[in-house]
Amino acid sequence: MTMDRLRIDKWLWAARFFKTRSLAVEEIGKHRVQVNGDVVKPAREVKVGDLVSLRQGQVARTVAVRGISAQRGPAPVAQLLYEETPESIAAQAVARDRRHFAREPALSIEQGRPTKRERRSLDQAAGGWGKRWSASLEGNTGSEGKDEDEPAR
């Protein structure tokens, strides 16, 4: 018996686009996978010659189905199941170059956690601790919660 059709979720798993069928179903449910330009459900069957568009993270890929396999095999065998379109390869190269030449995201943080010196200068500018010995806003001056009017026992 030869297979000429296979569920899209199973094909995506066998072609190693997703690690599990559950992940493939989840992405299909989020409308990140299209077959021949149509949004599909996980049970949609694909056949040789179909054009599958999918998004993996920031990368959008368009592949043509070249083979059907219900079993997940090694990567070299899985790559025989599809052929990436030239437009998709060019878009991936542009995205790769854009990421390569992009500015480091951590450099855009202008203000992070203050250093010890900066924290001390901020405390001085805000008036410091004053006569308080703790961070509580009550007026404790070191009497450990005793009222001044109450006689000592």
CATH of the domain at 34: 3.10.290.10
Amino acid letter at 142?
A: G
Predicted TM-score (pTM) of this structure: 0.65
Residue 139 lies inside a defined structural domain of this protein: no
Average pLDDT over residues 46-60: 91
Confidence of residue 2 (pLDDT cuts 50, 70, 90): low
- The residue segments making up the domain with residue 80 are 5-102
Q: How many domains does the chain have?
A: 1
Looking at residue 129, its pLDDT comes to 67
Residue 94 lies in a domain: yes
**Contact of 8 with 45, CB cutoff 8 Å:** yes
pLDDT at residue 123, rounded to an integer: 83
User: Where does the pLDDT of residue 152 fall: very low under 50, low under 70, confident under 90, or very high at 90 and above?
Assistant: low
Question: Is the residue at 150 inside a domain?
Answer: no
> Which of 33-42, 114-123, 135-144 has maximum average pLDDT?
33-42
Residue 114 maps to a domain: no
In a domain, 98, yes or no: yes
Q: Which of 5-14, 55-64, 75-84, 104-113 has the lowest mean pLDDT?
A: 104-113
| Residue of 100 and 16 predicted with greater confidence | 16
**Quick check: 77 pLDDT over 50?**
yes
Residue 55 lies in a domain: yes
**55 Cβ contact list (under 8 Å, min separation 6):** 27, 32, 33, 61
Is residue 36 a part of any domain in this protein?
yes
Does 9 map to a domain? Answer: yes
- The backbone torsions φ and ψ at residue 151, rounded to the nearest 5 degrees and listed phi first, read -70, 150
